[in-house]
Amino acid sequence: MSPTTHRTPSAVPAEESASDDDSATSYVCHFNQSSKKWECNGQQSDYKNHLLQQVMEASENADGSRATIDQLKEFGITVYLAEHDSVDKSLLTQVVKHVSASKSDRSKSGYENQRCLLYRDATGKLFNLTMHNGCAGLASTWKSQLLSFSGFQALVALTVLTRAFACSGVDAVELRPGYLSLLVGLVLSEEISNVWLNVSMFVRGTPSVAAYTLLSSFDSDWPRKLTIFLLALTAAMDPSSEYQRFCTLIGIGLSMLLLAANLGARAWYFMKWRPLKAEWAVSSYVAPLFSLVIAAIAGLIFPYMGFSRIQAGGKSSIELIISNSILVALCFMASDLDVFQNFIVAGSETCNQDNVNMSVGIFFTMTALSCIFAARRITPPGQHPDEDDDAILVEDETSPVGFKVPNFPDYPISPIDLGQKGLPCCTIKMETIVGLLVSLGVGFMVVSMSLFGYVDAANEAIASANESFEETLSRMLMV
């Protein structure tokens, strides 16, 4: 399978051939200079869909799919075609990488990013290739969390948590996370969740949630779970131990990393930056970590650009930055009170906060200035957006390329069916034997742990019996 592209023709027929049902199938098209589009007058507004359906109905044979694909190419759509005997995880991964590198650039128009992934069966029939692995539910949850994400809460938490690091070099102070695990896990749930997904979609340019599930090695939101678990674990440690202080600062640092990365990923998306190119590490564990660090840096430089209302652009976005910078600064100043510090991180109120106040004050000034100049480049959305009323594609998060053609039925597949085939050097009989041996060995090791108690009791019983026997024998000899 190889991707194919085709530009939209510079002209379209001005009229159709006459027929008995001319009113139902004939259109007169003219080019609108203001909208830069072809407009077709007729009883139906979905001219492209109608034309594609005509081509499909006229080509219902094994070779007819070629005409349908050519028609899609004439509409300016990049068609990725997967044959029925060549679909595997490696192939889909290569498609996702190509789309991420060349067809997910938000700095370009939507027309330049049009694509679809089709599956052709043995009879030549075409289907939309989609993923059946729960990615639709994940996409729904992710979009709802994007809607409820509060940039204000994230930035307030990011700055207030820095007060704990004033005690990093003070050995006499005992740090206790207090209610921090509860605040981070519940109050800031949306602000620290799905950091892998946000970075992948916004920074790396992954075309859909289905594509993310193909590329990602993580099936769960491990960064959030690890952070909450570490903060909860430190609350149960000995406050006077060095390990407790270290784990507390690590947990707070991870929380700040997640907050900054989510803010940076959203800022990357709202400013319409090009996807981060990391071909040298796309298929490894380095690319997600590298993208996470880049997103966190972007979040520390342009935190206000991750606010949802920044998309308004113009004076409204600058006013948003000014008002929120004042509110966040007031919240940070209030956190210097002992009652607030004792509630969040107990022990930090006894540390000298001068260096923290100075550093965060410089941070407020620099980020406000950087965001104000960045917001000037955001164009306010028009009252009448230039959308294609005759779009041939619809967005779908279950498609590895992010779009599908509604004229075709779906062919859902599960990544489990595309899994690895196992080691080529071993037969299934050999692996069965190895599995039986491993199962017996693991079971014996676990059971042997419970035998230590019986062994000690048996040793004591044997020792007691030996003593009794020796005493009995000595008495018999004396008699």
Q: What is the pLDDT of residues 155-197, one digit of tens each?
A: 999 999 998 888 777 666 666 776 788 888 888 999 999 999 9
Interatomic CA distance for residues 247 and 249, integer angstroms: 6
Interatomic CA distance for residues 124 and 340, integer angstroms: 68
Interatomic CA distance for residues 469 and 427, integer angstroms: 58
**Residue 466 located in a structural domain:** no
Looking at per-residue pLDDT, the higher value among 169 and 281 belongs to: 169
Torsion of CA 71, 77, 82, 84, to 10 degrees: -30
Q: What is the mean pLDDT of residues 245-251?
A: 85
**Residue 307 located in a structural domain:** yes
Phi, psi of 32 (to 5 degrees): -90, 115
Is residue 113 domain-shared with residue 153, that is, in the same domain?
Answer: no
pLDDT at res. 109:
63
Q: What is the mean pLDDT of residues 397-407?
A: 89
Kindly tell me if the per-residue pLDDT of 281 is higher than 50.
no
Is residue 125 domain-shared with residue 91, that is, in the same domain?
Answer: yes
**Which DSSP helix (H) or strand (E) runs through 362?**
helix 354-375
Q: Please state the separation of Cα 412 from the chain's center in Å.
A: 21
Q: What share of the chain is helix, strand, coil (3-state, %, to 5)?
A: 60, 10, 35
**Residue 394 located in a structural domain:** no
Is residue 289 domain-shared with residue 154, that is, in the same domain?
Answer: yes
pLDDT tens digits, residue range 127-156? 999 988 788 888 898 999 999 999 999 999
**Residue 259 located in a structural domain:** yes
Is residue 352 domain-shared with residue 411, that is, in the same domain?
Answer: no
pLDDT tens digits, residue range 64-108? 567 788 888 888 888 888 888 888 888 888 888 888 877 666 666
**Residue 137 located in a structural domain:** no
pLDDT at res. 390:
56
Least confident of 38-47, 210-219, 449-458: 38-47
Place of tokens 């008699």: 479
Average pLDDT of the chain to the nearest whole number: 79
Q: Please state the separation of Cα 249 from the chain's center in Å.
A: 26
Interatomic CA distance for residues 413 and 87, integer angstroms: 10
Interatomic CA distance for residues 106 and 113, integer angstroms: 8
Q: Please classify residue 36 by burial: count the beta carbons closer than 10 Å to its beta carbon, then call 0-12 exposed, 13-18 middle and 19+ buried.
A: exposed
Interatomic CA distance for residues 125 and 430, integer angstroms: 41
167 within 8 A of 175, measured Cβ to Cβ: yes
Is residue 175 domain-shared with residue 297, that is, in the same domain?
Answer: yes
**Alpha carbon distance, N-terminus to C-terminus of the chain:** 100
Kindly tell me if the per-residue pLDDT of 3 is higher than 50.
no
Interatomic CA distance for residues 213 and 197, integer angstroms: 9
pLDDT tens digits, residue range 212-222? 988 887 778 89
Is residue 183 domain-shared with residue 118, that is, in the same domain?
Answer: no
Nearest to 191 by CA among 97, 134, 256: 256
Is residue 194 domain-shared with residue 313, that is, in the same domain?
Answer: yes
Kindly tell me if the per-residue pLDDT of 300 is higher than 90.
yes
Most confident of 396-400, 421-425, 462-466: 396-400
Interatomic CA distance for residues 41 and 111, integer angstroms: 22
Structural domain of residue 407, as residue ranges? 22-132+402-418
Is residue 153 domain-shared with residue 110, that is, in the same domain?
Answer: no
Is residue 309 domain-shared with residue 188, that is, in the same domain?
Answer: yes
**Residue 179 located in a structural domain:** yes
**Residue 381 located in a structural domain:** no
Q: Please classify residue 94 by burial: count the beta carbons closer than 10 Å to its beta carbon, then call 0-12 exposed, 13-18 middle and 19+ buried.
A: middle
Is residue 121 domain-shared with residue 210, that is, in the same domain?
Answer: no
Structure tokens at 30: 């003219």
**Residue 59 located in a structural domain:** yes
Is residue 251 domain-shared with residue 300, that is, in the same domain?
Answer: yes
Number of structural domains the chain divides into? 2
Q: What is the mean pLDDT of residues 58-62?
A: 54
Write out the DSSP string of 272-313.
TPPPPP-GGGTTSSHHHHHHHHHHHHHHHHSGGGGSGGGGG-
Least confident of 24-28, 200-204, 398-402: 24-28
Is residue 115 domain-shared with residue 156, that is, in the same domain?
Answer: no
Q: What secondary structure letter does DSSP report for 117? A: E
